[in-house]
């Protein structure tokens, strides 16, 4: 993990006083999880940079049970991103190594401490899993930083695997060193999903202390609080309540729905993944060589299909130009090697019209799409898919409305997504699917996706239609 902080303040070497570290020598600190080194890659009057390099010992983490939890004896305990990605370890190192600066103290130059100076900070690698670059901006821009990021593909050799959740993050602003360190201290663990230590009541105190003067005004304070406290509900409530009371009491106005939606989205991540896995398995089972992804959206299933050599021809279709553009971007279509590139095409079209380009396919996926269609258009969709395109197998998924009461955050009677035109119970979906299958010469069997509730069923329902 590498954090560098630079300034062009005149003289720039004042930075040494501000962080209490002599530019002329390298210092080493032994922390419980590894070694921190502080050194200055450059230290001139015009420009000065201090670097905090944290080397984490992944094997030590396993021995001390601080590595990724719950994998038993898997390789992931030893081979993971913990040594490289800015995480709560880095926050602890900031507090240990730059403790006085974080507290806003300078023995030698107390006059300097309160003076905002031009600062820029680079975090060599941060992980922003959900939200990516957008999340980085939402966190740092309201604090007055100019945010600059570089994203990375998951694997340069296989661009079709898509983007990685890793970014290099550069922040610049005119701030005090204390402000910069405090923002980093709180927001680094917010970005990173893992927290290496137990979250107890004292974490609320730490958050409030380091958030003093900025967190209560931050438009994303709820998201920051939730993530910092790793979704521990009672702690979050406590922190938010207290945050507002030292702010200006705008709790009602700052409705929490947006933040809750995000939590919802995050919880759906694993549901999305499970859905993708279930659909992919069903498609593979058909033995199809040519597959359609209808309403492909931003192309997540397409990426997974590309990874399976079974599928020689993959076609994604969507009514949204924007979604197709994003899909093309995420799949790196333009940089794809020709052999790969010829396996996939993206079509613009609507599922409610007959489209000859969709004929002759072994299988089709229609994942979380039908609920976006106006009910009076369903009949047209049924014909377009089952009478005209006529894939050997069609895999259709849609939310199970019964399960909605389980999403604590979803107000009663609301759909999971603003654009949903309907959400069906299992009985409604079964009735529709059975009737459609009967009319168009298909048989249908049902599957479920996600953790199944004994009474309410699974969050997502799936119908697998096979032609006659």
List residues near ligand SAH by CB under 6 A.
Answer: 295-297, 300, 318-320, 323, 350-352, 367-369, 372-373
Q: Which is closer to ligand SAH, CB of 113 or CB of 319?
A: 319
**Closest distance to ligand SAH from the beta carbon of 61 (Å):** 35
CB of 369 to ligand SAH, least distance (A): 4
Nearer to ligand SAH, 222 or 293 (CB): 293
Tell the smallest beta-carbon distance from residue 57 to ligand SAH (Å): 39
Nearer to ligand SAH, 242 or 372 (CB): 372
With contact defined as beta carbons under 8 Å apart, do 19 and 50 qualify?
yes
Residue 15 or 385: the one with the smaller Cβ distance to ligand SAH is 385
Phi/psi for 41 (5° steps) reads -60, -25
Hey, how many other C-beta atoms are within 10 angstroms of the C-beta on 50?
Answer: 24
Q: How far is the CB of 451 from ligand SAH (least distance, A)?
A: 18
- CB nearer to ligand SAH: give 102 or 323: 323
Q: How far is the CB of 365 from ligand SAH (least distance, A)?
A: 7
- Residue 409, Cα to own-chain centre: how many angstroms? 19
CB of 213 to ligand SAH, least distance (A): 41
- Closer CB to ligand SAH, 132 or 247, in the complex: 132
Asked whether the CA dihedral 400, 403, 405, 410 is positive or negative, the reply is: negative
Nearer to ligand SAH, 79 or 269 (CB): 269
Q: Considering the complex, what minimum distance in angstroms separates the CB of residue 302 from ligand SAH?
A: 9
Residues 223 and 128: their CA atoms lie apart, in Å, by 13
Nearest distance from C-beta of residue 320 to ligand SAH, angstroms: 4
Closest CA to 347 of 376, 313, 391: 313
Nearer to ligand SAH by C-beta: 199 or 319? 319
Q: Compare residues 128 and 369 and give the one whose CB is closer to ligand SAH.
A: 369
Point out the residue whose Cβ comes nearest to ligand SAH: 297
What minimum distance in Å lies between the beta carbon of 389 and ligand SAH? 12
Cβ proximity to ligand SAH: between 188 and 367 the closer is: 367
The residue among 61 and 296 lying less far from ligand SAH, judged by its C-beta, is: 296
Q: For the chain, what is the HEC assignment? A: CEEEEEECCCCHHHHHHHCCCCCCCCEEEEECCEEEEEEEEEECCCCEEEEEEEEECHHHHHHCCCCCCCCCCCHHHCCCCCCCCCCHHHHHHHHHHCHHHHCCCCCCCHHHHCCCEEEEEEEEEEECCCCHHHHHHHHHHHHCCEEEEEEEECCCCCHHHCEEEEEEEEEEEEECHHHHHHHHHHHHHHHCCCCCCCCCHHHHHHHHHHCCCCHHHCCCHHHHHHHHCCCCHHHHHHHHHHHHHCCCCCCCCCCCHHHHHHHHHHHHHHHHHHHHHHHHHHHHHCCCCEEEEECCCCCHHHHHHHCCCCCCEEEEEECCHHHHHHHHHHCCHHHCCHHHHCCEEEEECCCCCCCHHHCCCCEEEEECCHHHCCHHHHHHHHHHHHHHHCCCEEEEEEEEHHHHHHCCCCCCCCCCCCCCCCCECHHHHHHHHHHHHHHHCEEEEEEEECCCECCCECCEEEEEEEEC
Least gap, CB of 319 to ligand SAH (angstroms):
4
């Amino acid at each position: 993990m590498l954090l560098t902080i630079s300034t062009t303040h005149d003289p720039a070497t004042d930075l040494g006083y501000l962080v209490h570290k002599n530019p002329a020598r390298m210092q080493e600190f032994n922390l419980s999880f590894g070694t921190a080194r502080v050194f200055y890659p450059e230290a001139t009057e015009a420009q000065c940079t201090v670097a905090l390099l944290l080397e984490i010992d992944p094997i030590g983490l396993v021995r001390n049970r601080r590595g990724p939890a719950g994998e038993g004896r898997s390789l992931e305990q030893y081979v993971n991103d913990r040594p490289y990605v800015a995480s709560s370890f880095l926050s602890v190192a900031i507090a240990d190594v730059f403790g006085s600066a974080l507290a806003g103290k300078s023995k030698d130059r107390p006059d300097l401490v309160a003076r905002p100076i031009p600062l820029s900070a680079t975090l060599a690698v941060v992980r922003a899993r959900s939200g990516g670059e957008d999340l980085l901006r939402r966190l740092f821009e309201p604090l007055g930083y100019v945010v600059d990021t570089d994203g990375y593909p998951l694997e340069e050799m296989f661009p079709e695997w898509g983007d990685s959740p890793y970014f290099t993050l550069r922040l610049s602003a005119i701030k005090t060193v204390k402000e910069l360190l405090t923002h980093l201290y709180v927001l680094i663990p917010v970005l990173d999903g893992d927290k290496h230590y137990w979250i107890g009541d004292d974490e609320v105190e730490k958050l409030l202390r380091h958030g003093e003067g900025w967190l209560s005004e931050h438009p994303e304070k709820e998201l920051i609080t939730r993530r910092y406290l790793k979704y521990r509900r009672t702690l979050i409530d406590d922190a938010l309540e207290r945050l507002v009371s030292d702010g200006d009491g705008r709790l009602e106005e700052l409705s929490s729905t947006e933040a809750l939606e995000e939590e919802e989205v995050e919880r759906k991540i694993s549901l999305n993944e499970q859905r993708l896995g279930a659909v992919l398995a069903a498609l593979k089972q058909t033995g199809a060589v040519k597959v359609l992804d209808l309403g492909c959206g931003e192309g997540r299933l397409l990426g997974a299909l590309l990874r399976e050599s079974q599928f020689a021809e993959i076609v994604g279709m969507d009514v949204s130009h924007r979604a197709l553009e994003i899909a093309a971007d995420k799949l790196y279509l333009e940089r794809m090697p020709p052999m790969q590139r010829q396996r996939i095409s993206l079509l613009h079209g609507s599922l409610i019209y007959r489209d000859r380009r969709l004929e002759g396919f072994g299988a089709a996926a229609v994942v979380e799409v039908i609920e976006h269609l106006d009910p009076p258009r369903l009949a047209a969709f049924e014909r377009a898919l089952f009478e005209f395109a006529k894939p050997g197998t069609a895999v259709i998924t849609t939310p199970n409305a019964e399960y909605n009461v389980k999403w604590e955050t979803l107000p009663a009677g609301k759909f999971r997504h603003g654009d949903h035109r309907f959400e069906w119970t299992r009985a409604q979906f079964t009735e529709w699917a059975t009737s459609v299958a009967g009319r168009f010469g298909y048989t249908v069997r049902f599957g479920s996706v996600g953790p199944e509730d004994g009474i309410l069923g699974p969050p997502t329902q799936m119908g697998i239609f096979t032609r006659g």
